[in-house]
């Protein structure tokens, strides 16, 4: 099996399943490190898939394409980590939960999803809205997925989840006593 060990490498697998490939140097696009793996010759789709999954950090393989985008996503020091219970992480990453509920309004932007020292995903939050009535709260139940008929906080904010995706698990240091939001160190 062919493996990619360094930037800008060109190679060809040996044996009956031949595959030529070229890897570009990593570039930073939207705070994510991205490499393009260009498949120039592929005799066997199984070889193509094995190569794709042997490259470290692969999140997505575009089947039937001449190029595969490999995103090596990792938080940087100072990045925000939203601390969420595992049940909510599953619902967010599956797309079932589209509104995050918090006691304070968070600024829109990119957040990592973490729990107990492990980052499981990444999401983008939109601008928050104050939920000021029980009627509104119940009307938004399909989006926030909380079964309670009462507002959970004195001031309750709904933050729309605009995009969420699973990432390769990364450990982080959870400061003692911290709840809600921490910074990656």
69-103 pLDDT, tens digit each: 334 478 999 999 999 999 999 999 999 999 999 99
What is the C-alpha separation between 181 and 124, in angstroms, rounded?
14
Domains of the chain: 10-72 (no CATH), 80-183 (2.30.130.30)
What is the C-alpha separation between 25 and 34, in angstroms, rounded?
9
- Taking 50 as the threshold, does the pLDDT of residue 52 lie above it? no
Banded model confidence at residue 144, pLDDT cuts 50, 70, 90: very high
Q: Which two tokens stand for residue 158?
A: 């709904």
Task: Determine phi and psi for 22, rounding to 5 degrees.
Answer: -140, 135
What's this model's pTM, rounded to 2 decimal places?
A: 0.61
Place of tokens 């006691």: 103
């Amino acid at each position: 099996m062919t493996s990619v060990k360094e930037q800008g490498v060109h190679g060809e697998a040996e044996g009956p399943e031949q595959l030529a490939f070229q890897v570009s140097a990593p570039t930073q696009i939207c705070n994510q490190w991205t490499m393009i793996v260009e498949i120039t010759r592929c005799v066997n789709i199984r070889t193509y898939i094995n190569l794709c999954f042997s490259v470290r950090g692969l999140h997505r393989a575009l089947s039937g394409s001449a190029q595969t985008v490999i995103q090596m996503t990792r938080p940087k020091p100072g990045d925000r980590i939203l601390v969420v219970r595992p049940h909510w992480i599953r619902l967010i990453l599956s797309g079932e939960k589209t509104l995050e509920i918090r006691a304070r309004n968070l600024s829109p932007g990119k957040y990592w999803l973490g729990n107990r020292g492990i980052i499981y995903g990444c999401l983008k939050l939109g601008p928050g809205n104050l939920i000021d009535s029980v009627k509104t709260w119940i009307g938004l139940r399909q989006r926030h997925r909380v079964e309670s008929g009462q507002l959970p906080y004195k001031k309750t904010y709904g933050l729309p989840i605009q995009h969420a995706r699973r990432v390769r698990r990364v450990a982080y240091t959870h400061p003692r006593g911290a709840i809600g939001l921490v910074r990656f160190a």
